[in-house]
A and B are shown apart, each in its own frame.
Chain A
Amino acid sequence: MLTTPFPAPEPRQWLARYGDELYRYALARVADAHGAEELVQTTLLHALQALGRFRGEASERTWLFAILKRQVLDYYRQQARCPEVPLAELAPDGPTEADFFEAANGHWRAAQAPASWRTADGPLEQQELQAALQRCQERLPPRHGAVFALRFVEELPAEEICRELSLSAANYWVIVHRAKLQLRRCLEKHGLGRA
């Protein structure tokens, strides 16, 4: 094909055109501003190196976002593989089922039993809830946070996550279960619990 349906990329315009948009996409996923800036930077550097491979099959914007999405997945993979666990932390993977359920019969411990939640009505409240969830996600052990994001935000199939992170199916479910138990408890403590 001699002509391409999309015009050639204009790298000098990337930051001005897409800097904010790429940054917000990253920031909604990685929590801290520094991490999001890094993702934008590596995305644009990768794109610059891959310029010769731009085929015009998608718009410049779509192409850049595809590169950013791959960077985000790599970010989660790294987070899952090398958790920076503080030395003082005794339980590097955080609370276990024993913190939530009675050892004797597997029922909810009294203090952990789910309470009913206020419902989210207005758009402002939705934003507050999303921000609360973001803070709770940050408190998860790194590997739990990465598995939660890969499965439920990026919507990768469970088998792919297990393969990528070398997890057995049983371990995968333990992590998903613990991540949800912790997020649920954290949200209840910070905003969603009935006043």
Chain B
Amino acid sequence: MLRLISCHQATLLIEQRADAPPPPRDRRSLWLHLRYCPYCRRYARQTVLIVQLAQARAGAPGALPGLPGAARQRIQQQLLGAGLDSL
């Protein structure tokens, strides 16, 4: 028996299935929902893209600026205060 689900339920299931396969009943409901709902099909693609973008940024920070000079000096002072010189 296929249970009809709303977009609210479908998008939540889309998030949950990324972690673990939902029970067969939910899987069938989601499959059917995605057959006729173009918006939730888009959501399913876009939510994956969002994670890929977030990971790409965190994984390749090379384009970001380096440690500012003022912060470098401040940290150096902190390290000296914590005994860097007495090593």
Contacts and interface: CB of A to CB of B under 8 A. Distances in A.
B66 A173 contact: no
Interface string B48-87: 0111011111100111111110011011101100111001
Nearest to A100: B8
Interface in B15-56: 15-16, 19, 39-40, 42-43, 46-47, 49-51, 53-56
Nearest to A114: B42
Contacts of A33: 68, 71
Nearest to B81: A45
Nearest to A10: B87
- Measured as residues with beta carbon below 8 angstroms from the partner, the interface class of chain A is 35 or more
Contacts of A115: 42
Contacts of A139: none
Q: DSSP majority for the A interface?
A: helix
B64 A24 contact: yes
A29 B58 contact: yes
A67 interface: no
A33 B79 CA distance: 20
Contacts of A66: none
A28 interface: yes
A34 B40 CA distance: 39
Contacts of B9: 106
Contacts of A184: 43, 46-47, 50
Contact of B57 (A20, A101, A116, A134): A134
Interface of B: 5-9, 11-12, 15-16, 19, 39-40, 42-43, 46-47, 49-51, 53-58, 61-68, 71-72, 74-76, 78-79, 82-84, 87
Given A107-B7, A116-B42, A133-B53, 19 more contacts: A12-B84, A15-B75, A20-B66, A22-B67, A23-B66, A24-B62, A24-B64, A25-B61, A28-B58, A44-B78, A106-B5, A106-B9, A107-B6, A108-B40, A114-B42, A114-B43, A173-B15, A173-B16, A177-B11
20 contacts: A11-B87, A15-B72, A15-B75, A24-B64, A33-B68, A37-B75, A41-B78, A51-B87, A100-B8, A106-B6, A106-B8, A108-B39, A114-B46, A117-B46, A158-B19, A173-B16, A177-B12, A180-B15, A184-B46, A184-B50
Interface of A: 11-12, 14-15, 19-20, 22-25, 27-29, 33, 37, 40-41, 44-45, 48-49, 51, 97, 100-101, 105-108, 113-117, 126-127, 129-130, 133-134, 137, 148-149, 152-153, 158, 173, 176-177, 180-181, 183-184, 187
